[in-house]
Amino acid sequence: MNDTNKKIAVVGTGVIGASWAACFLSKGYDVAATDPAAGAEERLRKLVQTWWPTLERMGMTDDASPERLSFHASPEAAVQDAVFIQESGPERLDIKRATLAQISAAAPADTLIATSSSGIPASQIQDAAQHPERVLIGHPFNPPHLIPLVEVVGGRLTSAQAIEKAMRFYESLGKKAIHIRREVKGHVANRLQAALWREAFHLVQEGVASVSDIDAAIAHGPGLRWALLGPFLNVHLSGGEGGIEHFLEHLGPPVEDWWADLGEVKLNPELNQLLIAGVDQELGTANLADIVAQRDELLLTLLKLKAQSDLLP
Ligand SMILES: NC(=O)c1ccc[n+]([C@@H]2O[C@H](COP(=O)([O-])OP(=O)(O)OC[C@H]3O[C@@H](n4cnc5c(N)ncnc54)[C@H](O)[C@@H]3O)[C@@H](O)[C@H]2O)c1
């Protein structure tokens, strides 16, 4: 990025955009934000202040300051002179297309435009933009100021240089960027989550285990390893000295047998009620805000430990 101008535009400052804004500010950028909702500026400034101590603990650049946040009435004003644009408006095709047309006309021609979209492929929106080769998906995980993963996905018209530049940019923020080579619904990480949810919901539906026991099965079991190494390396380690090769030979056939037995599930009022009641029972009288605060505190500790460790990057 150009060091003399370090302005990033954040278009849409809801759940995801506000967290992106805080992340960019913590890395020493000027952030020019915009959002048409009433009270959006006040809400954003308050969230940035709330998150600032956490961002300080995560590590910020010396020049980082919440004072470097500006708020603009129009997307055109926000994106002027921006070196990068992160779009995080509503997940609606018509709004994404209109926003892209608007911001691409006002931004410098070579400024990357990343959309946070979880489900709308770049190919369905980028032709609305001027210079569509710089439009791509930069899909974060909530909250982007804490979770490192960003999925970068190009559309039909996205250039290889734009992908490369976006990857380098996110990595420069300390993010873990992965390039998804083909547009598929839900990108990669959410598809993996959805595969697990399908079986978890199915097991509840069939009465095999309670909601809280299924949560425990992940949070006190494989989930601990998944936060450190992904599914393939965990399989490799499960194979002992023979690694994944031995695992595939030895446990491959039973795993195929389990695959054949996994359930198909459709959400319906009865199943939804079982899931809702199960979560209510699991939570009991626990306070949700306390749980979120404790989860975030542990997450921060884990992220710091991971950053200090030599375990694969
Ligand atoms: N919530 C998540 O967990 C999550 C995770 C990853 C990606 N995303 C993606 O991020 C994007 C934003 O999702 P969110 O959860 O923050 O939604 P949100 O509803 O919290 O925020 C959307 C914001 O966009 C604003 N907005 C409305 N019209 C606009 C316009 N024309 N231009 C600019 N802003 C406008 C709204 O006022 C609102 O503040 C979506 O594309 C979504 O798919 C969401």
Ligand 1 atom closest to the Cα of residue 35 is 34
Question: For helices 252-261 and 243-250, what crossing angle results, to 10°?
Answer: 60
Q: Are strands 149-154 and 7-11 parallel, antiparallel or unpaired?
A: unpaired
Q: Structurally, what CATH architecture does the domain formed by 191-308 represent?
A: Orthogonal Bundle (1.10)
Say whether the peptide bond before residue 222 is cis (omega within 30 degrees of 0).
no
Q: Measured in angstroms, how far is the CA atom of residue 120 from the centroid of ligand 1?
A: 12
Q: DSSP strand E in the chain: where?
A: 7-11, 30-34, 69-72, 84-87, 112-115, 135-140, 149-154, 176-180
Residues 6+ apart with CB under 8 A from 59: 174, 307
Tokens of 296: 């975030």
The CATH number of 7-180 is 3.40.50.720
Contact 123, 156 (CB under 8 A): yes
Q: What was the pLDDT predicted at 5? A: 73
| Torsion region of 186: left, alpha or beta (phi above 0 gives left; psi -120 to 50 gives alpha) | left
C-alpha separations of 161 from 81, 136, 164, 165 in Å: 20, 11, 5, 6
C-alpha separations of 168 from 26, 77, 118 in Å: 17, 26, 21
Q: Are strands 135-140 and 149-154 parallel, antiparallel or unpaired?
A: antiparallel
Q: Give the pLDDT means over successive 10-residue stretches in the chain (313 positions).
A: 77 98 98 98 97 94 97 98 98 98 98 97 98 98 96 98 98 97 97 98 98 98 95 95 95 96 97 98 94 92 92 78
- Is the pTM higher than 0.85? The answer reads yes
CA angle 31, 37, 38 (to 5 degrees): 105
Residue ranges covered by each domain of the chain: 7-180, 191-308
Q: What was the pLDDT predicted at 2? A: 45
Q: Measured in angstroms, how far is the CA atom of residue 186 from the centroid of ligand 1?
A: 16
Q: Are strands 84-87 and 7-11 parallel, antiparallel or unpaired?
A: parallel
User: Is residue 95 in contact with ligand 1, taking CB distance under 6 Å?
Assistant: yes
Q: What was the pLDDT predicted at 4? A: 60
Q: What was the pLDDT predicted at 312? A: 76
User: Is residue 37 in contact with ligand 1, taking CB distance under 6 Å?
Assistant: yes
User: Is residue 193 in contact with ligand 1, taking CB distance under 6 Å?
Assistant: no
Radius of gyration of the chain (CA): 21
| Dihedral sign from CA coordinates of 307, 172, 121, 75 | positive
- 8-state DSSP, 178: E
The per-residue pLDDT for range 104-125, each reduced to its tens digit, is: 999 999 999 999 999 999 999 9
Q: What was the pLDDT predicted at 1? A: 53
Q: Measured in angstroms, how far is the CA atom of residue 285 from the centroid of ligand 1?
A: 31
The end-to-end CA distance of the chain, in Å, is: 23
Contact 12, 87 (CB under 8 A): yes
Return the bridge partners of 113, or none: 85, 135
**Exposure letters 47-63 (e unless 16+ CB within 10 A, then b):** bbeebbebbeebebeee
Ligand 1 atom closest to the Cα of residue 98 is 31
Mutate-to-test residue for ligand 1 from 11, 16, 79, highest number of ligand atoms within 8 A of CB: 16
User: Is residue 117 in contact with ligand 1, taking CB distance under 6 Å?
Assistant: yes
